[in-house]
A and B are shown apart, each in its own frame.
Chain A
Amino acid sequence: MRKKLCALLSCAALLVGVLAGCGGKSGAPGGKAPVKIGLLYSLSGVTSVSEKQLYNGTKLAIDEINAAGGIGGRRIETVFADYASDPARAADKARKLILDDKVVAIVGTCSSSARQAVKPVVETNRSLLIYPQSYEGQEHSDHIVYTGCIPNQQAEIFVNWLLRKGYRRFFLIGCDFVYPQVENKLAKEYLEKGGGTVAGEEYVPYGSTDFSSVLNKIKKSEPDVIYSELTGDSNVAFYKQYYAYGLPATIASLTTNETVLKSIGAQAGKNSFICVDYFKNVKNSLNEAFVKKYTATFHDGTQPTYAVMGGYNAGKFLGEALKKAADPQNTEQVAAAFKELKIQSPSGEISIDGSNNHTRLYCRIAQVDDKGEANVIYESEKPIDPKP
């Protein structure tokens, strides 16, 4: 008899557990209802290095908008969901944000695998994703707005700039997935047109930190410049080991940022080049104020990088779109409001290209000095049209 009671109680507990896992719906109290948006970032998984930066940027933007009066007097309320760097979970959380929390739009995801997992969810449910990270392009969706830079906004300018500076032999290196491969493919095209040569092309397993065989190959092929799209731990380890080997070629990276520079130390990054759309040291009044605000607000060791700026721009664009739309709760109107939307950002005046939902961004090249700071030495005259 006791057994059965025990079992019955367990069943009840189970049922309760299942239903409790469903969570309660967060109902908005009466009065002017806030506008709900979702923040879908992984702060607890292996990609949290980048995602924390994106998250900080977005949060800063939303806080600014709320401080300035919100959307016609209505606050923007953010619903945060953590997906632990697991694309399947990202899709689940996106579904939850859309169906359960009824957000107007989602800002978030970082890696392409997470974005591609979320893509069908926002498309089937006719919602909206603002994707803040730089990625490989080659994608288009009516339900996604991409605010990070894509290869054509980096490769053409960077490769030709390097060729003009006298670098001829390029050694291409990246992690083994689609982003570096697309970047390298573009680089090879521009090299051919510009008279440069490919000294070598290597892909390392994602997350690998052992570059001994790669460094030997580099030594053998004697390039002028290492054209790198390494990311994460691999990127950090590469700079350090490259410095230890003391090889002469300069490193030119499409992915390094100020946080990475802090991790590798002043010596390892010295004189290397970086090409992205934003640096902390961009000189304009809006950016100086932004950097000051960022360093005052966040003390978690992150720097204002192009990832932060991507997240910030995403939040700012969304805020503008919400204001422009007649009904900020109507996702379709908000999505339509993004076309050719322009904002004044610390990275310059940038706008969304309505034909492909990507952002026109400035291209900037920086050189790292002996104190480990990235100083902007080239800035494109106007924002570059994205061609995904």
Chain B
Amino acid sequence: MTRFAKIPAARYLDLALFLALGLFPLTGLMFYTQLLQKYMVFLIFAYSLDLLWGYAGLMDLGHAVLFGMGGYLMALSLSARSGVPEFMARYGVEQLPAWLAAIVPEPAAVLAGILVPALFAGLLGRFLFFSRVGGVFFSVITLALAQAFNLFIQSQQEYTGGFNGIGGLPGLSLFGRPLTLAQGYYLVFGLVLLVYAFCRGLTASRFGLVLRGIRENGARLEFLGYDQARFKTAVFAVSGALAGLAGVLYAPVNGMIAPNDVGMEFSTAAVVWLAIGGRGSLTGAALGAMLVNVLGNALSEQFGAYWQLLLGAALLAVVFFAPQGITGVLPRPGARSSPGKAAGKRA
């Protein structure tokens, strides 16, 4: 009994979530299974943002840029499988450019989709963190980046399909064989578990401890001899890789990718998930992502044109009554519910 008492309540939530997700396809509701498959991709994205924001304290308002890089690279690869895709041919592109031809094979696309955002994040981190840009400035820069990237994608219509994005993408396939819905679902599920395990391991390690130290008091950590900038850049790159992975999965699961998915709206959406679920625990990120998306879907079914209003109001309510998010109201192991109570007990 005492052994179980040491496990944080949050872990039970994780377990419950994964159980629910793992068992859901057995209900046979095909449409909702497909929806949950997409939401699981969002889980990976949420985990990547949690690493950066929840653990390292860097609020990235443009995280969808990294997601979008992975997504667009994968989408381009998928649509170029059988020669020059239609949306390019329309602009007179006769031949696949060299970089595109290089990522047509699936493993190359996956690798590129993960490494390119990681590299970009790493370089950006090198550019920013080593000159002590942090806090609100980091957020503003990422916001500007999201805007610029969105505009850039829209303007490069020959290569990105512009405003309409790249559509008609085939579903998930492994080693060339297309997967059924159930198989694809469990592939994504497996990846979610892997990413979760990886993030747990990372945050429990010394690296994770340093990150949390940076979040709480970066200057103090410097005095202890840790180079903040290096750690921040590293976590940014790792977060970028995971966001890219989410993007790589998103393209085939969603069947299309558009500038909508890489700009401010999607970045802020992820921030909202973490705000509602709670950040810094991975559980909150998953909870928030699932809850907001499922709730949004349910609300839009019930309330037609008013559901966004209700969602905004719900966000306000959460920020008021549970500012640390849902996991913020969960008791933690060893913590007293309130100092007053303990004092009362003693007295």
A residues bordering B, Cβ < 8 Å? 2-4, 6-8, 10-11, 14-15, 17-23, 43-45, 80-84, 86-89, 91-93, 95-96, 99-100, 112-113, 116-117, 119-121, 138, 176-178, 181, 205-206
Contacts and interface: CB of A to CB of B under 8 A. Distances in A.
Contact of A95 (B4, B31, B287): B31
B108 interface: no
Given A6-B331, A177-B164, A91 B154 contact: no
A93 B305 CA distance: 14
B163 A3 contact: no
A22 B90 CA distance: 40
Contact of B300 (A7, A8, A84, A100): A84
A124 to B, nearest CB: 9
Interface residues of B, number: 58
B133 interface: no
B323 interface: no
Contacts of B255: 91, 117, 120-121
B297 interface: yes
A22 B32 contact: yes
B304 interface: yes
B330 interface: yes
A42 B301 CA distance: 13
Interface of B: 4-5, 9-10, 12-13, 15-17, 19-20, 24, 27, 29-32, 34-36, 38, 90, 151, 154-155, 157, 162-165, 167-168, 254-256, 258, 260-261, 265, 287, 290-291, 294-295, 297-298, 300-302, 304-309, 330-331, 333
Nearest to B24: A18
Contacts of B157: 176-178, 181
Report the 3 A-B pairs with minimum CB-CB distance, sorted nearest first. A11-B16, A7-B12, A177-B163
Contact of B298 (A20, A45, A80, A100): A20
A21 B305 contact: no
| Most A-side CB within 10 Å, residue of B5, B295, B305, B309 | B305
B17 A81 contact: no
Contacts of A45: 308
B322 to A, nearest CB: 13
Contact of B304 (A2, A80, A91, A116): A80
Contacts of A44: 305-309
B169 to A, nearest CB: 8
